[in-house]
Amino acid sequence: MIAGPSPEVLVLAAVVVGAFAQAATGMGFSLVAAPVLIAVHGQAEGVAVVVLLAACSSVVPLAREGRHARLGEAARLLVPTLAATPVFAWVLASADRSLLAVAGGMGVVIGVVMLASGWRSAWLRRPAGTVATGLASAGLNVVGGVGGPPVGLWAANATWTPAQTRATLHAFLLVQNLTTATVVGLVLPSWPALLALAGGTVLGLALAPRLSAATARTAILLVSAIGGVALLVGA
């Protein structure tokens, strides 16, 4: 019998691909890496490692493209997200994570399908839509370390350039993931994982300037869909 790759190799591969997606599109690290890290490390430790690595994955891309970030928009979305994060961590501490993952995954997939079909909603850009997006992102990040999909859908509904989208998402996700890591408990990643993250980031940064607005939007929606399906399968 031919042995499959070890859990450590799977983790490093997921980190490389996730960091690549994050640097190239502005999101995607947790959507790719979270299912693998949680399967290997368990729910609590896996989420803690994912959100800290995800925060690290935004540092270099944000330093490079930070001038394009729409910080006012990011701050507007961070207010409900950061306020809700400790509340969700407390309320969901004893909840059935499988049911929450199913609900979250279905919501993400439905949202992606609606936007990919050309659906637009001015409501998402209104205060109520922003609050709902922040709450959904906070809940998903606490449960599975995958707070990106609601924010990706929110950004896909905006008329930003690819550089603005990437930079704004990096700014938002950096602050959100650091906050979530503090709330759920800091678990330091291994040095191999950090090296894998650095490698994926370099590759993603090399590709990012070549992405058109349509390609970047499609990539964000595709990564969001993958994250939603991963939540359903993992549940």
Where do the domains of the chain lie?
7-234
Q: Could you give the C-alpha distances from 96 to 3, 43, 213, in angstroms and in order?
A: 34, 12, 39
Q: How far apart are CA 45 and CA 112, in angstroms?
A: 29
Query: What's the number of CA atoms in the CB half-sphere (13 Å) around residue 98?
Result: 2
pLDDT for 49 equals: 94
Put simply, whether the predicted model's pTM sits higher than 0.75 gets the answer: yes
User: Higher confidence at residue 107 or residue 187?
Assistant: 187
**pLDDT by residue (tens digit) across 179-216?**
999 999 888 999 999 999 999 999 989 988 887 767 77
Mean pLDDT of 105-113: 72
pLDDT for 1 equals: 39
**pLDDT by residue (tens digit) across 82-95?**
999 999 999 887 77
